Amino acid sequence: MLNFYLPDFYNNAVLINFLDDLMKHAPQWFYDDVRIGAVYGCFPGAIWNGGRVVWGIEHRETIAKMIKQYNDRGIAVRYTFTNPLIEEKHVNDLYCNMLLELADNGMNEVIVNTQALEDYVRAKYPSFKLISSTTKCLENLDAIRAELNKDYYLVVTDSSLNNTDELFSLEPKDKIEVLVNHYCQDHCPRRQAHYNAIGHAQLEFTNLNFPECKFTSRSFYGIMENRSFISTDLLFGKYKEAGFKHFKVDGRAHAVRNVVDSFIYYLAKPEFRDRVRLYIYQQVYQI
């Protein structure tokens, strides 16, 4: 079984739930042996959140209801607690702890970046599966092997390794999660600075001040030109045959058309993609 991890459980909830229903009711439209293993993201206003800025606030009742809806479907909720600026002084945040308490049932997961938050979650919420984040920007093979030797459920590798002999040399492959369609240029020299800027904006509730970015391709089909892009031919051929089982689809804070196209591309068989797309736009977005 190949597990796909989809963004963004808060803003894409209706889309993801509809897609999950469609996969169950019309399995012949989708690739064999694929499932939505987890949905990742964060509820608005969590200072531990990283990767994308998510300002705002959400009611406790709504949070609990959304978590239950996913879990009842057999889908794990995965928090992106990857803010690279989190220190020990931040771990007692009441709102973030509430998010963990509401999802603390042994099914859900946390993506971590900093040692301070990782240690805290391990000690106080041991039922969560911990995942090492791609936001650590680890391109060195020795550093990645060290991550794989730690007590993580999964390690999300840097997309710069995609489609390389180095990635295929890593073991165990069933502990590696591959980011298949990163919306960034290969080997971006500003990536860590971007994550730091996002972390600062999330932590301080201040304006996002991005370093200059010259990468212009923000469409799903545009990033297919990246060397790191993993096509379905490669994924269901080379990657599956090599033993990879876990695949992350990028797309938080991206346009609806990019999110829909990426979900369809990786989950639906080519001959049914247009039909699935039409159903989604008609039933989810009423267009």
Collect all residues with Cβ–Cβ distance below 8 Å to 140 and sequence separation of at least 6: none
Is it the case that residue 188 has pLDDT exceeding 90?
A: no
DSSP track, the chain: -EEEEEE-TTTTHHHHHHHHHHHHH-GGGB-TTEEEEEEEE--TT-TT--SS---S---HHHHHHHHHHHHHTT-EEEEEE--TT--GGGTT-HHHHHHHHHTTTTT-EEEE-SHHHHHHHHHH-TTSEEEE-GGG----HHHHHHHHTSS-SEEE--GGGTTSHHHHH-S-GGGEEEE-S-SS-TT-TTHHHHHHHHHHHHHHT----PPP------STTTGGGSTT---HHHIIIIIHHHT--EEEPP-TT--HHHHHHHHHHHHB-GGGHHHHHHHHHHHTS--
Tokens of 121: 């979650």
* C-alpha distances out from residue 125 to 97, 224, 250, Å: 10, 39, 27
Is it the case that residue 218 has pLDDT exceeding 90?
A: no
pLDDT category at 172 given cuts 50, 70, 90 is very high
pLDDT tens, 11-53?
999 999 999 999 999 999 999 999 999 999 999 999 999 999 9
- Distance, in Å, from the CA atom of 26 to the CA atom of 220, rounded to the nearest integer, reads 25
- The stretch 93-122 carries a mean pLDDT of 98
Q: Identify the CATH number of the domain defined by range 2-283.
A: 3.20.20
pLDDT at 216 (0 to 100):
58
pLDDT tens, 159-170?
999 999 999 999
The domain locations on the chain are: 2-283
pLDDT category at 207 given cuts 50, 70, 90 is confident
Residue 261 near residue 255, CB atoms below 8 Å: no
Residue 179 near residue 159, CB atoms below 8 Å: yes
Tokens of 61: 């009742």
